[in-house]
Amino acid sequence: MTPAARVQSAIELLDRIVEAARAKAAPADRILAEWFRNNRFAGSKDRRAIRELVYAAIRACGPVPASGRAAMLRLAETDPAIAPLFDGSNYGAAPIAEGEPVAEGGVAPSWLIARLAASGVEDGEAEALLDRAPLDLRVNTLKAERATVTLPEPAEPTAAPHGLRLTTGTPVEQWPAFRAGEIEVQDTGSQLACLAVGAQPGETVIDLCAGGGGKTLALAAAMDNQGRLIASDTDRNRLSRLAPRAERAGAADIATILLNPQREMEALAEFAGEADAVLVDAPCSGTGTWRRNPEARWRLDEQELSRLTTLQAYLLDVAARLVKPGGRIVYVTCSLLDEEGAGQFDALLARHPDLQPRALALPLGRPRGQGIRLSPGPDSTDGFFIACAARVQAAA
């Protein structure tokens, strides 16, 4: 493909991504994967270049652009190499017309910028939400150690005790250490969220919103496969991804429990008041993960945010029923908005006088409310709010 044809393909893909974001349909990475599957004429170099163009254009726009072409024209304003490729050549993008509409730049739609600012995320910290994420690994201590694991390329240790950092795009999935389950791909922020749980061998630990089990596997390693580890979620598909990953990681005896929304305690009844620790990695707006999914800014609206905050409060109340006296709830969201983080946690403590905040000692992050915030700019991790509450023991 010519460079101009790649630009035109990126424009067409952006049209689909914009449409899907408006309809809250497929995410950008899925749209790209499908397009590459159906357009085999695009070789690996073409695919890489088109992907780069698409994501650079998404990052260059703040609010949802009117069209893919308007988004690419916005990118052309910031990258002088792009405009000459609108050359009208065969399969290429049509020349730029006088006064053509150009999408607006910025960090996010204005209502979200205001919510971030109200949560203390502004200027450089807000801009860093759109940085490119590095590739972080967690060495799986069930099978290997960070100091001795053998990898084909050098990796930098991170602040997480078992973390390593590589350049984005390193094909780790093809490495023998990955296939052997010695390493997992996991952002440093996620690793620190798991560290905050402080899971110990022999404990009963519930990963209430386990999804595909990324954090469950880190908990299994911390527990050295000893104790009871329960991974639950309402999404059958996501939960089903855990078993093969657990097998590769050598994580034994993780109980997976599929939950019915609003009837979670029915499936978890045997653990009521029994858990040493409950991790609530709640569904959230994902404002801390825009480095990976920059078009998620276009999917979110105030109604969805309100639905999510209601669900988070509800899940925290479920966790409060599961934790035993002396046990702990660790609340995690990959969001930087206070209504999903510090505010949500304060509200939990206000609803449950038997829960007391517990200080966390993490190697990165800054206090936010009664928890800790990690942020892509200062911490070079995904954005997270992490807080811990312990259930007080009844007086003897």
Ligand X SMILES: C[S@@+](CC[C@H](N)C(=O)[O-])C[C@H]1O[C@@H](n2cnc3c(N)ncnc32)[C@H](O)[C@@H]1O
Site residues for ligand X per CB under 6 A: 208-212, 214-215, 232-235, 238, 259, 261, 264, 281, 283, 315
Respond yes or no: is residue 388 known to be catalytic.
no
Spatial CB neighbours of 238, under 8 Å, sequence gap ≥ 6: 210, 211, 212
> Using the 8-state DSSP alphabet, how is residue 332 labeled?
E
The answer to whether 332 and 280 are in contact (CB under 8 A) is yes
Question: d(Cα 387, Cα 371) in Å, to the nearest integer?
Answer: 4
Q: Name the residue nearer to ligand X (CB basis): 259 or 316.
A: 259
What tokens appear for 45 in the block?
A: 């170099």
Q: Name the residue nearer to ligand X (CB basis): 29 or 235.
A: 235
Shortest reach from residue 211's CB to ligand X, in Å: 3
Taking CA atoms, 334 is separated from 23, 192, 261, 281, 292, in Å, by 23, 12, 21, 8, 12
The answer to whether 356 and 389 are in contact (CB under 8 A) is yes
Shortest reach from residue 376's CB to ligand X, in Å: 17
Distance of CA 368 to the CA centre of its chain: 19
Shortest reach from residue 281's CB to ligand X, in Å: 4
Taking CA atoms, 238 is separated from 72, 150, 170, 241, in Å, by 34, 30, 25, 6
Q: Name the residue nearer to ligand X (CB basis): 47 or 215.
A: 215
Shortest reach from residue 284's CB to ligand X, in Å: 6
Q: Name the residue nearer to ligand X (CB basis): 31 or 280.
A: 280
Q: Name the residue nearer to ligand X (CB basis): 283 or 327.
A: 283
Spatial CB neighbours of 218, under 8 Å, sequence gap ≥ 6: 138, 184, 186, 190, 191, 194
Shortest reach from residue 238's CB to ligand X, in Å: 5
Question: d(Cα 30, Cα 23) in Å, to the nearest integer?
Answer: 15
Vertex 284, ends 280 and 286: CA angle to 5°?
Answer: 120
The active-site residue, picked from 194, 209, 334, 388, is 334
Give the residue numbers marked as catalytic: 334
